[in-house]
Structures are given as C-alpha cells and as structure tokens.
Amino acid sequence: MTKNTVVGVGLISVGWMGKVHSRAYQAIPVVYPELGITPRLVIAADTEPSRADYARDVLGYEQGTLDYHEVLAHPDVDVVSICAPNFLHAEIGIAAAKAGKAFWIEKPVGRGVEETRSVEAAADAAGVASSIGFNYRHAPAIEQIKSLIADGSLGRITNVRGTFFADYSSEPNGALSWRFNRSLAGSGVLGDLMGHLVDLIHYLGGPIGSISALTSTIHTKRPIQQMGTGTHFDVIEGGELGDVENEDYAAMLFRFADSAIAAGAVGTLEASRVAVGPRASYNIEIYGTEGSVMWDFERMNEFQVAIGRTGDLRGYKRVMAGPSFGDFAHFQPGSGTGMGFDDLKVVEARKFLEAVAGTAHLNSNIHDAVAAAAVCDAAEQSAESGQWVTLPAVLGVTAALR
Ligand SMILES: NC(=O)c1ccc[n+]([C@@H]2O[C@H](COP(=O)([O-])OP(=O)(O)OC[C@H]3O[C@@H](n4cnc5c(N)ncnc54)[C@H](O)[C@@H]3O)[C@@H](O)[C@H]2O)c1
C-alpha cells in the first residue's frame, strides 16, 4: 500500500465485537497516522435488522444488510471482520478466503480445531492475510514481559500459572446465550477464555507440548436468550429455561514442547465464566530461575516483577506500563494514564492492516488459531478420557519465535 491508502472494510455481525472492530478501524488514521491507511467502512451485515441499521446509522457504514454474502461480494471491500458467533466462523472464513478477502476473525475460529484447520487451508490456498482476536497479546505490559523472557532477565523459565476467571455468567439466571449451546459455540469456557490464555502462553513461552485436563459445568440450566438480543452479561428473571451444553470451568496441567522458548517448563491453566469475585481477572504468572512476573488484565497497565534471589528488598515490585512499552506511546504520553480494552483492538487492527499491506507481520494469524484450538480440543479429549494428551507440532505460535 502507498501513503494514504483507502482500505474498504466489510463487517460481518454487529454484536459486541462487531462494534469494537469498527471503532478500531475508525481510530487507525488518528492513532497511527504514519501508516497512511484510512479504513472506509463500506458494508456491514447482521441478521438482526436493528443491528444492521445500527451499523449504518451509528457506526457509519455506507450500507447495512441482513446477508453476509453481500459483504463478501462487494467489490469495494478489501478486508473483512468476522465477528459472528462461533458456528459461522468456518463457513464465513472459508467464503472470505475464496472471495480473496483478507480477514480479521474473532476467536475461537470455529467450533474446534477441525473447523479452524479448514479455515487455515482456505486462507493458505487463497494466499490471503488473516488476523485473530487474541487481543491480550497487545497489552504493553505483556509486550514488556515478552522482552524480559526473551532477554533472559527471568533466567530459565521453570513454571507458569494462568487463571482466566470471569463472572459474566456467575449469576444462575445469567442469559443462556449462543455461548452455552454446543452446536452454536462448540466448547464453553475452553473456546471462550482458555483459548485466549493458551495463546498468551504460546506467545510468551512457545508451544504447549502435552496436557492433562478436567472440566465441569456449575449451572446446568439458564433462561433462554434469543440470538441478536442483549449481551451474554444479561440476567433474565423468570424466563424459560434451557440446557447448558458445555463447560463453565476448565483446568489443565501442561508441559511446554521441546521447541518452546520455555522448553522444560511446566504449568497450570484454569478458566471459569462463573467465578464470583474476579470480574475479568485474566492473570498470568511466569516463574524463572532469576525472576518472576505477574500480570492481570483487571490491572492491564501494570505488572509485578521480581528479579534477583538475594537482598532484603527482594520480592515483587509494581511496574507501570509507559511509553517505552509496546504501543503505549500511541495512546498516552506518560505512565499512570492507562489504556483500555478498545485500545488493544486498535493495536490489533494496526497489525492486521500492516499484514494486509505486507509491510509487517506482527499479527497473530490463522496458524496461531489452530495452535490454540488444538490445545483446547486436547483438553476436552483429556477431560473425557482422564489421560494425558500429546499435542502434534503445529505451524502456529510463530510469533513466540520472532
Ligand atoms: N476477542 C475477545 O476478547 C472477544 C470478546 C467477546 C467475543 N469474542 C468473540 O467474538 C465473536 C462474537 O461475539 P460477540 O460477543 O460479539 O457476540 P454477540 O452475541 O454480541 O453478537 C453476535 C452477532 O452475530 C449476529 N448474527 C447471528 N447470525 C448471523 C448471521 N448469519 N449473519 C450475520 N450476523 C449474524 C447476531 O445477530 C449478533 O448481532 C465470538 O466468536 C466470540 O467468541 C471475542
């Protein structure tokens, strides 16, 4: 792309993520003027008419439609954001690739690793760029932690702990959204939150090699919510109840693969969508022979670091993210004035558009989605069989090696 390239954007699904992707595209020319890229919001689709109207009237798309095929067929659309529920990801991802459109798709890509691989095959065959909604990679504190691991400040990584605990469905009358239905979502918290955590572990430490897992469902019935209405944070009093078909909680023990930066290290990962107390506590702890770090999304603009084993002042120290960490300087001039969730999506949009332009390849891509899905599928398999599962070597996790 040359300076001031206009990139035509198509959006599929105008729910929570559809809105966030749209705001991210709109921010690109002002947050990253040096890119010379101006996204043009061309057309957005949602089967719920009020959401297609919202895309046109509020988000600023030139056109709204009920049929996503119109987005893929539109000649002015160069890139597509796929923010549909999981059951549509493979169908739409493959169609986007066949239409020659680069795509930014939300996680999990489909209802398991097979569907994710089908999207990977289509993207590879078409040679189109892909980016995945693994937003937590982009937190400046995470980028700094990645540097500390890479430059050896923590020594040899020995063990890792991750807990992605959310309370969005802690209320037993929390809505039975599409997320709880196996045919619409696939797995439950494994695909929804554990996938993010696995990707972060892959990004920071390299591929996971083997796992042993268990899962449980805490609330087995919930009040039904119609597709395209409300959000999965809604609480519905007195509604008709339906079955929860996938897991609320998942845990795994794991070993890194021999090829990993953290080869030889082990860890534990847990994810819950029904935790009481944590709101969106997406926490990782990385322990090494020379030091340790700890980060939680609820305090995403800071992390704890301890380097050194001796001295009375050893122990954790709080570090605030600042302009020298990741993309922080694009958003705020100094520490203490924090970035937010939407900003992570702006960074993600930046990396996606650069990959499309061919100027940089810092984005997560469909291979990373396959790598995360393979671990989540293996967790389901292990939970069912009670056996350890060894992961095959995958193409993904390339970013960890950069
Ligand atoms: N990266 C993140 O942190 C993050 C956060 C939330 C959701 N997600 C992912 O984003 C995706 C969407 O989640 P959400 O919370 O935005 O969902 P949502 O329920 O808010 O929105 C989904 C939208 O899809 C629409 N839809 C349904 N069928 C459609 C069709 N055939 N064509 C077009 N639109 C259709 C619905 O009407 C609804 O507006 C999911 O895959 C989810 O896992 C990622």
155: domain CATH number is 3.30.360.10
Does residue 108 share a domain with residue 181?
Answer: no
Residues 59 and 168 in one domain: no
Report residues whose beta carbon is within 6 angstroms of any ligand 1 atom: 12-18, 45-48, 51, 68, 83-86, 88, 106-107, 133, 135, 192, 227-228, 231
Examine the domain organization and report whether 193 and 298 are in the same domain. Answer: yes
Does any domain span residue 363? Answer: yes
pLDDT tier for residue 395 given thresholds of 50, 70 and 90: low
Tally the domains of the chain. Answer: 2
Atom 25 of ligand 1, residue of closest alpha carbon: 13
Do residue 324 and residue 277 come from a single domain? yes
Considering the domain architecture, whether residues 204 and 284 belong to the same structural domain is answered as yes
Q: Ligand 1: which atom is nearest the Cα of residue 135? A: 1
Question: How do residues 148-191 score in pLDDT, each as one tens digit?
Answer: 999 999 999 999 999 999 999 999 999 999 999 999 999 999 99
350 inside domain = no
Q: How far is the CA of 213 from the centre of ligand 1 (A)?
A: 27
Distance 188 CA to ligand 1 centre (A): 14
Q: How confident is the model at residue 401 (pLDDT cuts 50, 70, 90)?
A: very low
Q: Which residue has the tokens 């919930």?
A: 222
Is residue 345 one of the residues assigned to a domain? no
Q: In what order do the strands lie in the sheet with 37-45?
A: 63-65, 37-45, 5-12, 79-82, 102-105, 130-132
Q: Which of 105, 135, 165 is the last residue of a domain?
A: 135
Ligand 1 atom, smallest distance to 12 CA: 33
Residues 37-52: pLDDT tens digits? Answer: 999 999 999 999 999 9
- Kindly report the CATH number assigned to the domain that includes residue 69: 3.40.50.720
3-state SS, the chain, equals: CCCCEEEEEEEECCCHHHHHHHHHHHHHHHHCHHHCEEEEEEEEECCCHHHHHHHHHHHCCCEEECCHHHHHHCCCCCEEEECCCHHHHHHHHHHHHHCCCEEEECCCCCCCHHHHHHHHHHHHHHCCCEEECCHHHHCHHHHHHHHHHHCCCCCCEEEEEEEEEECCCCCCCECECHHHCHHHHCCCHHHHHHHHHHHHHHHHHCCEEEEEEEEECCCCEEEECCCCCCCCCCECCCCCEEECCCCCEEEEEEEECCCCCCCCCEEEEEEECCCCCCCEEEEEEEEECCEEEEEEHHHCCEEEEEECCCCCCCCCEEEECCCCCCCHHHCCCCCCCCCCHHHHHHHHHHHHHHHHHCCCCCCCCHHHHHHHHHHHHHHHHHHHHCCCEECCCCCCCHHHHC
Q: Are residues 45 and 128 in the same domain?
A: yes
Distance 255 CA to ligand 1 centre (A): 32
131 in the same domain as 31: yes
Predicted confidence band of residue 287 (pLDDT cuts 50, 70, 90): very high
Q: Are residues 301 and 225 in the same domain?
A: yes
Does one domain contain both 163 and 273? yes
- Mutate which of 17, 87, 342, 345 for ligand 1? The one with the most ligand atoms within 8 Å of its CB, which is 17
CA of 88, closest atom in ligand 1: 31
221 plus 129 within the same structural domain: no
Pocket test for ligand 1, best of 11, 50, 106, 193 (most atoms within 8 A of CB): 106
CA of 391 to the centre of ligand 1 (A): 29
Is the pLDDT confidence value at 117 over 80?
A: yes
Between the CA of 358 and the centroid of ligand 1 the distance, in Å, is 28
Query: Among residues 135, 166, 184, which one ends one of the domains?
Result: 135
Segment 329-373, tens digit of pLDDT: 999 999 999 999 999 999 999 999 999 999 999 999 999 999 999
Domain that holds residue 32: 5-135
Same domain for 245 and 378, yes or no, is yes
Q: Are residues 305 and 387 in the same domain?
A: yes
